[in-house]
Amino acid sequence: MKRILVLCTGNSARSQIAQGYLQAFAGNRAEVYSAGVAPHGVNPLSVQVMAEDGVDISHHTSNHVDEYAGTAFDFVITVCDNAREQCPHFPSSAELIHQSFPDPGHQPNVDALTSFRQVRDEIKTFSQNFIASKLTEQSDITVRSATPDDREAIENMLKNASLPISDLPESLSNFFVANFESQIVGIAGLEMFGKIGLLRSVAVDPAFQKKGIAEKLLQKIKRHAEESGIEDIYLITNTADQYFLRQGFHPITRAQAPEAIQQTAQFSGLCPASSFVMKHAL
């Protein structure tokens, strides 16, 4: 189990909110603590805005960083510049991470509650990405068939990855999604034309990349293709040719692509003529 310490000046707001979210997202994979260089109590608005999002930090206490001087941490996160400047020395094994957030309640022309909510949301996003990049293992990711309820999440992920959505099939029966808990973090689809298939819409949330998620999705696609009688899988890519080369695909000329592939929207217009066309024989 990892140990995480979050530091800010007063251990009143930002570090308390971060502790709450990091612990909620980490579950039993980490113990999360927070402290300040000049602690002055937990701000009631911190408790209130976290409760609004379903996270209870009413039991938190405000602690001085010196209380943890003898504790070995895996990560020490500073969430304000002052805490970073005054951060004491921790064992070299601790990874030091700095991500400064505005001081809630002290933003010009913003009322205190609105300010706390805005900073809370920023810290929530940071905390999700931190847990995804630092604590998520491949075994935490599951792959399942897509459902109609997944369409909005799939479209948003494709947009963020600059991949086409205008030709996304009405039926998502040959699409698969990778889940981390209830969050969709990866997608891949297959269009089938007799004994050939077109691999499409492969995307992974940036916060979850380099965790083998794309490989898991490709394995699922290949098994599904084999079970469906597909003999060859084709794909069209602008920039990921080297990645797919490592996954068993090899480049072909556009003229070598079967007619059914050439007639797809991706081949004929959505993807530029400079795109790579690749093939994988099952």
Q: Per the structure block, which two tokens stand in for 166?
A: 């205008």
Selecting among 7, 42, 50, 80, the annotated active-site residue is 80
Rounded CA-CA distance 70/9 in Å is 20
DSSP alpha helix (H) spans, 145-233: 151-160, 213-227
Selecting among 87, 143, 165, 192, the annotated active-site residue is 87
Rounded CA-CA distance 103/88 in Å is 21
DSSP-assigned beta bridge partners for residue 76:
5, 96
C-beta separation of 184 from 177 below 8 A: yes
- Residue 13 sits at the vertex; the CA angle it makes with 52 and 71, to the nearest 5 degrees, is 115
Q: Is 80 a catalytic residue?
A: yes
Other C-beta atoms lying within 10 Å of the C-beta of residue 20? 27
- How many residues are listed for the chain in this entry? 282
Q: Which amino acid is at 196?
A: I
3-class DSSP state for residue 260?
Answer: helix
Rounded CA-CA distance 17/254 in Å is 53
Cβ contacts of 207 within 8 Å, gap of 6 or more? 128, 129, 132, 133, 185
Selecting among 6, 8, 17, 204, the annotated active-site residue is 8
Active site residues: 8, 80, 87
